[in-house]
Amino acid sequence: MTAARAAAIVLRKEIRAEMRTRELLQTTVTFVIIVVVLFSFAFEPTAAEARRYGPGLLWIALLFSGSLMLNPSFAKEQSNDTIYALRMAPVSPFAIYLGKMLANLLFLAITEAVLLPVFALLYNVSLWPVLGRLLIVLFLGTFGIAVTGTVFSAVATQARMREVLLPLLLLPVLVPLLVASVEATAELFADAPSLDRTWVAVLVAFDIVFFATAWMLSDYLLEE
């Protein structure tokens, strides 16, 4: 079986499991909306203020919900004892990682699909004119979160206090990604919106480097 096919099977399994309970999506989507509402108390969300703080807020909300959502990715295999089945499966660990990573990417994208209109509405930001370019930045940033978060989800599963540990490990590692995403988004929210090449390049570089590292280390992720 090729890695791509194995990854597709893992992805289908993740989607099917999620569609049966919808546990992950309903909690994450609710959480991300709570974060957006709570941030409105930190400053007066007028258009000018929102333009200043909006990008940071958007990405902090995504990062928080990501660190929350990625935790069960491997933890549920552990608690259901299905991790042994994954270990025994005659496919490369990278394929399993890839399937899980794509599932997390998809779930994060669904969260964003809910978050964006709510954010635009509550903070009075018009996203429509820059939507295409914003989606590029969102994709690059979310890809980085999913790539790194899926690895660290597997790492945190091995430790005690894993629910607290995952944000501890994940959030600081994602700082360069956060900075680049926020700056690129801020350029899009400016009066004369533009897609900043430098920050997009930083995002692409981050994604490539972290994905390559995850690929090289994937053999060790499912070990006992």
Binding residues for other proteins, rule: CB under 8 A, are: 148, 151-152, 155, 158-161, 165, 168-169, 172-173, 175-176, 179, 209-210, 213, 217, 220-221, 223
Cβ-contact 73, 157 below 8 angstroms: no
Q: Give 99 or 144: the residue with its C-beta nearer to other proteins.
A: 144
26's tokens: 């309903």
Cβ-contact 112, 138 below 8 angstroms: yes
| CA separation for the pair 8, 163 (Å, rounded) | 27
CB of 159 to other proteins, least distance (A): 4
CB of 19 to other proteins, least distance (A): 31
Task: Please spell the DSSP secondary structure of 136-158, one letter per residue.
Answer: HHHHHHHHHHHHHHHHHHHHHHT
DSSP state of 145: H
CB of 174 to other proteins, least distance (A): 10
Q: Give 85 or 159: the residue with its C-beta nearer to other proteins.
A: 159
Q: Which residue has the tokens 């053999």?
A: 219
Question: Using alpha carbons only, how large is the chain's radius of gyration in Å?
Answer: 18
Q: Give 14 or 183: the residue with its C-beta nearer to other proteins.
A: 183
CB of 135 to other proteins, least distance (A): 26
Q: Give 91 or 165: the residue with its C-beta nearer to other proteins.
A: 165
